[in-house]
Amino acid sequence: MRKRIAFTGGGSAGHVMVNLACIPHFLEEGWEVAYLGQENGIERDLLTDFPSVRYEAISAGKLRRYFDWKNATDPFRIGKGVWQAYRFFRTWRPDVIFSKGGFVSVPAVMGGWLNGIPVVIHESDLTPGLANRLAIPFAQIVCTTFPDTLRHLPKGKGIHLGAIVREELKRGKKERGYALCGFRPQKPVLFVAGGSLGSARINQAIRNNLEELLAHFQIVHLCGSGQVDERLEQPGYKQFAYVNEELPDLLAITDVVVSRAGSNAIFEYLALQKPMLLIPLSKEASRGDQILNARSFEQQGLCHVLMEEELDDFSFRQAVDNLWHQRTDMLNSMRKMEQRDVLAELLHLIKTARR
């Protein structure tokens, strides 16, 4: 009988990318693979390259940290999702469940636990997010990216692995990247990303400084859905709402990066040795996890940090200029980092998980 694995995680690209790194390995080894996500979640769109993966849509609440009338109905959505996941697992019976987090993972993990199925969780950020905090009591193993995360987990349950980086990101071709953007190799490339949903603040900072920046860089700008401004199209400035298969080629031509500080993204830039200016989400817009991620990288000499509260046209130009002139120091720090096959270690943990 073929082995089976169920993946879950969604709400943002960061809660899906590690799953996308793992899925091909299980398919190649002949496992049957299912994915539990929301009906219209970004996770469903990102799985289009894997038609053999069974997608099971379940209900989920948003788990807001602020007052909203929908908070009163979210427990019922979560309860419905737990029941849907429980029924699916009761008949499909996976050997193991792997959860990357995000609010859709909570009912999936609970439904698996009710069926006695071992659960492995991966936590990317320095401190566990709300969804993972709710799911951790139902898991056998919690894999962490940062070693300090172990302090926030039940004793004996956490294992520090490090960052999971998709192998395809390392296979980008510069010639394809230059052709895609209409760029030339003689001029450095600045890659700008505000996260999978984009960032209005970062978009504004780039566009307000576009003339000055284009004097020194060619710019790849990941704007977010619906945020491409066709009026600004010009040689040396290429906008994308979102990229998927093009990303490795775009990163291959990148010299320096401006980005939010989501854990998956910044560890990918680190693995590719791209000096970074990180602009983490403020505490007003998040739980502060990106600030902790960015400060940890900054302390290791891997990036510069510009807080969103300090972001204006002048500070942004100055920060990009400092990034460029200090990129060599960052590269030297990056080259000293330990290189391990973290994905292989994670795959082994998932395959050997026991209830």
Mean pLDDT lowest among 88-92, 276-280, 321-325, 333-337: 333-337
Q: Euclidean distance between the first and final Cα of the chain, in Å?
A: 20
Question: Residue 62 has what pLDDT?
Answer: 67
Contact 145, 136 (CB under 8 A): no
Higher pLDDT, 196 or 314: 314
Q: Is 102's pLDDT higher than 90?
A: no
Say yes or no to pLDDT of 186 above 60: yes
Report the run of H or E that residue 130 belongs to, with start and end. Answer: helix 130-135
Torsions phi, psi of 95, nearest 5?
Answer: -75, -25
Q: Nearest Cα to 250, choosing from 190, 340, 339, 198?
A: 190
Higher pLDDT, 189 or 194: 189
Structure confidence at residue 236 (pLDDT): 97
Average pLDDT, the chain: 91
Q: Which stretch of 72-76, 120-124, 281-285 has the lowest confidence by average pLDDT?
A: 72-76
Q: Give residue 76's pLDDT band: very low, low, confident or very high (50, 70, 90).
A: confident
What are the contacts of 176-179 at 24+ separation with CB within 8 A? 176/249, 176/252, 177/249, 177/250, 177/251, 177/252, 177/253, 178/253
Handedness of CA 318, 321, 323, 325 (dihedral sign): negative
Which pLDDT score is estimated for 350? 96
Q: Quick one: angle between helices 327-335 and 313-325, nearest 10?
A: 60
Whole-prediction pTM value? 0.81
φ and ψ of 291, to 5 deg: -65, -45
> Using one digit for the tens of pLDDT, what is the confidence trace for 222-270?
998 889 999 999 999 999 998 888 999 999 999 999 999 988 899 999 9
> What is the token pair recorded at 68?
């909203």
Strands of the chain (E only): list them: 4-8, 32-37, 54-57, 96-99, 119-123, 141-144, 158-160, 189-193, 218-222, 237-240, 256-259, 276-278, 303-305
Mean pLDDT value across residues 293-313: 95
**Average pLDDT in the 294-322 region?**
95
User: What distance in Å separates the CA atoms of residue 137 and residue 64, rounded to the nearest whole number?
Assistant: 20
Going by pLDDT thresholds of 50, 70 and 90, the confidence category of residue 289 is confident
**All structural domains of the chain:** 4-162+341-351 (3.40.50.2000), 170-335 (3.40.50.2000)
